[in-house]
Chain A
């Protein structure tokens, strides 16, 4: 776990730097004054980049730069929350099921198969649709679908680790199940879970944008990147920057996350082999 990010290839470190900057924007974006983000000025409708701020203005004359900044806190915040909940919920379930085995284990596997019977985003779209559009419901919908890979990973690893001598030793020394799982099993599977979370983050950012784009995610006027894309779609002909700016933001962050995740996977595989 320690030094997970040390000694990665240059591309991965660049990706890490990009993500750090995105994270800074995301954290500070929440503190932006509402007046900046939502200020409507129809005289500056669809002004190009340079005319209004670095990225121009949207169909209501709102500054795209400010909205993008606030959007970073929404889009990345929702994605990060979904990843966190999925990881916590999924790995806890997987750990317990893997350690207990039996009916609980079978039930968990069936439930996971059920969730995976819905292709890609379909279940998340359906859940978000019935729960109603809001940031919290988006996190719920994405987490309800996202926990499965963590549970599978944690379950497999818990089974593997459970056969190790030191676990048997800890058990015979009187360690109870919660203590055993948290102190002895979890540290051993933390690295693959972190890697999984990194890869999941890219997927979660895309999923949040897709949900907002389809109108079942974060509702307007909140400037989620997907919602900005969706709102600007009708102006693709007369003011393409309204679409291209949020699209570029999504692409850059997702690509950086994927590059970092791939490097972490490779590193993990190398450690495993040696």
Chain B
């Protein structure tokens, strides 16, 4: 219980730090943020009105208190452009991002587990080498490169799938494949390493000597033991899915939080930018901390960590 309270305190402290950084973002805008948001040629009266509306005419410490008290109530301010609450805009975009992330995650696992197990069973053979090269290529290919190639292949050459937009299940295929690709490549290597380790254990040799077929034995025995570390890595990858979503959603005009962020940057709607950045960082930090907590619960050998685990460096 005490460990849990310490964990919760550390998470809250981290979130407060994240919120502080996001608060100061708007003050990094060169010159007058209000003028920057309205663009060139805005009337001085409008700029002053916006400055007042955003509280930018208050002392910094009061702005800071306003920001935090709003945050506690789930109030992220209003969009400069549409005047609607930022939280509402984010919640409206959230389902699209969740759909995309879940689809990409499932696709990555569906590709990574069979290829990883196959590579482990054929260790050192050509299949293993081929999968290694494929995975290296997958990791080195950024979303904005793989997306046009996939579009060329499946939308243009084969005419199977729509190029962009969100219209039914077919339109999900290319964005999810783009987003899941690098994760699948990484995860496949993890699965391979994890299964290879389990194949070396005595129980596997025992299963083989009982006359079980290697593949069946690997799936029945090694799979169960190899799974927890794979799930942890997969869980930590959810964070990179979130950033990947920013690029992927922009490419495919997928109406999620990532596209909302980039559109708001282009429209200089900085309150929405702040909200999106804060929201994504919060989700990422909480997911990481939860995975960390889960690991320490599942495996008593792991040292109970006092704080949330930081993401991959």
Contact = CB atoms under 8 A, between A and B. Distances in A.
Interface of A: 110, 112-114, 116-123, 125-127, 129-132, 148-149, 152, 202, 206, 209-210, 213-216, 226, 229-230, 233, 236-237, 240, 243-244, 247, 250-251, 254-255, 258
Contacts of A250: 142, 145
Interface in B119-166: 136-137, 139-142, 144-145, 148-149, 151-152, 156, 163
Contacts of B144: 209-210, 213, 226, 229-230
**B interface: dominant SS:** helix
Contacts of A251: 140-141, 145
B142 A127 contact: no
A214 B246 contact: yes
17 contacts: A113-B17, A113-B310, A114-B14, A114-B17, A117-B17, A118-B281, A119-B242, A122-B246, A122-B277, A123-B277, A125-B261, A130-B270, A209-B144, A214-B246, A216-B265, A244-B148, A258-B140
B142 A210 contact: yes
**A interface: dominant SS:** helix
Given A113-B14, A116-B311, A247 B266 contact: no
B243 A129 contact: no
Interface of B: 14, 17-18, 21-22, 25-26, 28-30, 136-137, 139-142, 144-145, 148-149, 151-152, 156, 163, 239-240, 242-244, 246-247, 250-251, 261-262, 265-266, 270, 273, 277, 280-281, 284-285, 307-308, 310-311, 313
A38 to B, nearest CB: 23
Contacts of B149: 244, 247
Contact of B262 (A127, A149, A214, A236): A214
A122 B258 CA distance: 10
Contact of B30 (A122, A131, A214): A131
B185 to A, nearest CB: 12
Contacts of A247: 145, 148-149
Given A110-B17, A131-B30, A213-B144, A119 B284 contact: yes
Given A117-B281, A119-B243, A119-B281, A130 B140 contact: no
B270 A114 contact: no
B265 A215 contact: yes
B136 to A, nearest CB: 7
A214 B144 CA distance: 10
A122 B141 contact: no
Contacts of B148: 229, 233, 236, 240, 243-244, 247
Which one of A113, A131, A206 has the highest number of Cβ atoms from chain B below 10 Å of its Cβ? A113
Contacts of A125: 246, 261, 265
A213 B266 CA distance: 13
Contact of A126 (B14, B242, B273): B273
Nearest to A240: B152
Which one of A130, A132, A214, A215 has the highest number of Cβ atoms from chain B below 10 Å of its Cβ? A130
B234 to A, nearest CB: 15
Given A116-B311, A120-B239, A129-B273, A215 B142 contact: no
A112 B310 contact: yes
A252 B92 CA distance: 39
A210 B148 CA distance: 14
Which one of A123, A126, A210 has the highest number of Cβ atoms from chain B below 10 Å of its Cβ? A126
B17 A209 contact: no
A127 B28 contact: yes
Given A117-B18, A119-B240, A210-B142, 16 more contacts: A110-B17, A112-B310, A113-B307, A118-B18, A118-B277, A120-B243, A126-B273, A130-B25, A148-B313, A149-B313, A210-B144, A214-B250, A229-B145, A236-B148, A236-B151, A258-B136
A149 B310 CA distance: 12
B16 to A, nearest CB: 10
B14 A117 contact: yes
B310 A116 contact: yes
B140 A213 contact: no
A251 B152 CA distance: 17
A141 B140 CA distance: 22
